[in-house]
Amino acid sequence: MDKQAAGSQSRASPRQLRRTTIDDIARAAGLAKATVSRALNGRDEVHPTTRERVLQTASELGYVPQAAAHALRTGRSRCLGLLLPSVQWPWLVDVLQGVADAVSDAGYTLLLFSTAKGEQTEREFVAKVLPSRPMDGLLLIVPPGLIPSIRDLAAHGLPVVVVDDRGHPAELPSVSSANHQGALLATRHLLGLGRRRIAVVAGPMDYGCCRDRLSGYREALDEASVAFDPSLVVDANFTMAGGRTAVASLVARDPTIDAVFAMNDLMAIGAMDVLGDRVPTEVSVVGFDDIAAAELTRPQLTTVHQPLYEMGQTAVSLALDAIEGGTTVQQNVMLPTRLVVRDSCGGQQGDQ
């Protein structure tokens, strides 16, 4: 065999490179093209046995739907967008998993966007991504500065759901956890242990979740007739370093502190670094979120469990309801929290 012939045989034929089409599936399955199309698009009038036959044939032939053609034909991309501030936030992992599982179960594709670089990426998202509308709906964990642009887009028909509401305008549908309830449970627990000088390591107070957690703390103090002392509340930034700095300054100012309620687990872990062996005999520590690291600390961290996975799933459900219904339904869903008692408080362990 000469080199030219060998070369021609080594190259794939045009038919081998061609994308599998609905026509190919129809011929292989012995069905009408219209029936195959209806089956692939999930139409109700197709018998389940026929649909399974079409899907099996499509899989065997390596059929890949043309998303762009589908979008032009139906007006939908079957994509959901998720805008994240930073994938370095530990609790985002659980939210993201809930979103990803729900999107997959619905037969959609997930598009991830991040504003981790701050204002530059926020401007690019508003100027370049949003006008192109590559998604049927958008889930947000987003800085407040983007809300006006997102709100305008929602007003023009794009289903938008805010995850972990941080004080955004109420006209956007949202999914959050019961922050006030969680802080109330945590503070009641500390008071039940006989703690009275309960310090708070707070997150930024422009976040609605932080305001709610502080109000829950104050309600528990009122119930126990313990006066609120503003000097026991110190602002931090949701990081371990912030927790260390905050508690070091608190202890230096007031060595009578006998408990710390931190508004997230990272700050609670930072607090425990500073307090050392004083936890839990002299000082009890409670966090908020119940991230995986809470069980890895020594002593293990008592914390308020947020239903993060469920928050992600619920956000997808709200968005899909709006997409399928054609209109954005105004809903603000709040999921319950619970206290997970571990070693950092002392006393009996378990959920409350």
Across the chain, what does the average pLDDT equal? 83
pLDDT band of residue 167 (cuts 50, 70, 90) is: low
Within this chain, do residues 211 and 233 fall inside the same structural domain, yes or no? yes
Based on the fold, state whether residues 290 and 195 are members of the same structural domain.
yes
Burial label, 316 (beta-carbon count in 10 A; 0-12, 13-18, 19+): buried
Q: Are residues 18 and 156 in the same domain?
A: no
Q: Let me know whether 81 and 154 are in one domain.
A: yes
Considering the entire predicted model, what is its pTM?
A: 0.75
Report pLDDT digits (tens) over 121-158: 666 666 666 666 678 888 988 665 666 777 777 776 77
Segment 302-330 shows an average pLDDT of 87
Residue 251 lies in a domain: yes
What is the band of 17 on the pLDDT scale with cuts at 50, 70, 90? Answer: very low
Residue 188 lies in a domain: yes
Q: Name the domain count of the chain.
A: 3
Would the CA dihedral through 78, 83, 87, 90 be positive or negative?
negative
Confirm whether 45 is domain-assigned: yes
Residue 318 has pLDDT above 80, yes or no: yes
In a domain, 70, yes or no: no
Instruction: Note the Cα 347 to chain centre separation in Å.
Output: 32
Boundaries of domain holding 42: 3-65
Where does a domain end: 65, 95, 117? Answer: 65
**CATH number of domain containing 7:** 1.10.260.40
- Statement to judge: residues 170 and 240 lie in one domain: no
User: 279 falls in which pLDDT band (50, 70, 90)?
Assistant: very high
Cis, peptide link before residue 299, omega less than 30° from 0: yes
Q: What integer pLDDT is reported at residue 68 of this predicted model?
A: 44
List pLDDT tens digits, range 58-76: 878 877 555 444 544 555 6
Question: Is the residue at 71 inside a domain?
Answer: no
233 and 196 fall within a common domain: yes
pLDDT, one tens digit per residue, over 37-49 is 888 776 777 888 8
Neighbours of 74 (CB within 10 A): 11
User: 325-338: string of b/e by CB count within 10 Å (b at 16+)?
Assistant: eeebeeeebbeebe
| Average pLDDT, integer, range 285-301 | 96
In tens, the pLDDT along 254-264 reads 999 999 999 99
Q: Are residues 344 and 213 in the same domain?
A: yes
Q: Confirm whether 72 is domain-assigned.
A: no
Does any domain span residue 33? yes
One domain, residues 92 and 136 = yes
CATH number for the domain that contains residue 150: 3.40.50.2300
For residues 347 and 214, state if they share a domain. Answer: yes
Within-domain flag for 107: yes
Cα distances (angstroms) measured from residue 197 to each of 190, 272, 300: 10, 16, 22
Residue 5 has pLDDT above 50, yes or no: no
Residue 184 pLDDT exceeds 90? yes
Q: Which of 23, 42, 65 is the last residue of a domain?
A: 65
Which of 44, 65, 86 is the last residue before a domain boundary? Answer: 65
Asked if pLDDT for residue 294 goes beyond 90, the answer is: yes
Residues 293 and 168 in one domain: no
CA terminus-to-terminus distance, the chain: 80
Residue 112, beta-bridge partner list? 82
Average of per-residue pLDDT across 281-293: 96
Does residue 205 sit in the same domain as residue 225? yes
- 315 and 183 in a single domain? The answer is no
Pairing of strands 350-351, 338-341: antiparallel
